[in-house]
Amino acid sequence: MVKTNEKLIVKGKRLDGRAIEDLRPVKMDVDVIERADGSAQVAFGNTETIVSVYGPRKLYPRFLQKSDTGILRCRYNMAPFSVEDRKRPGPGRRSIEISKVTRLALEPATFLTDFPKTVVDVFIEVLRGDGSTRVAGVNAASIALATAGVPMRDLVVACSVGKIDGKLVVDLNGLEDNNSEADIAFAIMPSKEKVTLLQMDGRLTKEELFESLDLAKKTCKKIYEMQKSALKESFKD
């Protein structure tokens, strides 16, 4: 984690050259893991996650099964080499929490009642970590679920917004995240504008917060289009 005392926005441009509402270059690919039922790889600049989906498949041990619906499980994991100082393998408290909020972000979009006693597993690996990893994971998981043929009400689209140098910006990179006055992880099902993930750290007035949420919603619409074209590409094949 790098702290800096320098300005993060100079003449309206962020240090990587972006305007305050610019995303980093986004890359979205699906069907990248052949053994999986669905998969996707999503990069926002130097943040990259890869996701595979397995299921619906019968859930064992049996006492975990639900007789009226399938269930969703998520695992968010950072590869040891994804961050500056090697991360020891195994789930820490941060990963446990992110796995939970990711599952809750995706759950409202899936309906598994046609698959009682089954489980859908979503495995998210962060290969490169440079800020906003959890929302990259949600974006990848969402399209991976779609390619796996899991029934969905809508895609789930996620982004981060934050406040740096007194300005609201989108898609924070690692340096911005570590030096932000506030950052927000946000996910929405765009068609009916239903929010499924909302976490915030920092210090914002109510007005700034509401503005941030509107900015997040607007940003997610852009990402939604990217998700849809990534999926279209894949269905062409």
Partner 1 sequence: MENYASNLLLSGKRIDNRKLDEFREIEIKQGIIDKAEGSAMVKLGKTKILAGVKIGLGTPFPDTPNEGMLIVNAEFTPLASPDFESGPPGEDATELARVVDRGIRESKCIDLKKLCKTPREMVLCVFVDIHIINHDGNLIDCAFLASLAALMDTKIPKIKDDRIVRGKFEKDLPVLYKPIEVTVCKVDDKFVLDPMFKEEAVIESKLTVCVRDDEKICALQKQGSKELTMDDIKKMIEIAIDKSKELRKLFER
Question: Among 5-13, 31-39, 157-165, 222-230, which window interacts with partner 1 (CB under 8 A)?
Answer: 31-39
Stretch near partner 1 under the rule CB under 8 A, chosen from 59-67, 133-141, 161-169, 211-219: 211-219
Residue 191 CA to residue 215 CA, distance in Å, equals 17
The answer to the question of residue 6 lying near partner 1 (CB under 8 A) is no
Closest approach of Cβ 58 to partner 1, in Å?
12
Residue from 9, 23, 127, 226 in contact with partner 1 (CB under 8 A): 127
Closest by CA to 141, choosing from 124, 154, 118, 119, is 124
Alpha-carbon radius of gyration of the chain? 18
Q: Which two tokens stand for residue 175?
A: 């340096």
Residue 40 host element (H or E): strand 38-44
CA 205 to chain centre: 25
State yes or no: residue 2 binds partner 1 (CB under 8 A): yes
CB of 80 to partner 1, least distance (A): 4
Q: Does 151 bind partner 1 (CB under 8 A)?
A: no
* Residues 73-102 contacting partner 1, CB under 8 A: 75, 77, 79-86, 89-90, 93-94, 96-97, 99-101
Of 76, 123, 142, 215, the one binding partner 1 (CB under 8 A) is: 123
Contacts of 76 (CB under 8 A, 6+ apart): 95, 98, 99, 102, 124, 126, 134, 137
Residue with tokens 């852009």: 222
**Nearer to partner 1 by C-beta: 11 or 62?**
62
Tokens of 81: 């080499």
Q: Using the rule CB under 8 A, which residue among 114, 214, 225, 233 binds partner 1?
A: 214
According to DSSP, the β-strands at 71-78 and 118-128 are: parallel
| Contact in structure between 141 and 102 (CB atoms under 8 Å) | yes
Q: Choose between 107 and 165: whose C-beta lies nearer to partner 1.
A: 107
The secondary element (H helix, E strand) that includes residue 139 is helix 133-147
In our burial notation (b when 16+ CB lie closer than 10 A, e otherwise), range 65-94 reads beeeebbbebbbbbbeebbeeebeeeeeee
Task: Lay out the site mask for partner 1 across 35-54 (x = CB under 8 A, - = otherwise).
Answer: xx---------x---xxx-x
- Name the residue nearer to partner 1 (CB basis): 28 or 101: 101
Nearer to partner 1, 23 or 195 (CB): 195
Contact residues toward partner 1 (CB under 8 A) are 1-3, 32-36, 46, 50-52, 54, 57, 75, 77, 79-86, 89-90, 93-94, 96-97, 99-101, 104, 107-108, 121, 123, 125, 127-130, 184, 189, 193-206, 209-210, 213-214, 217
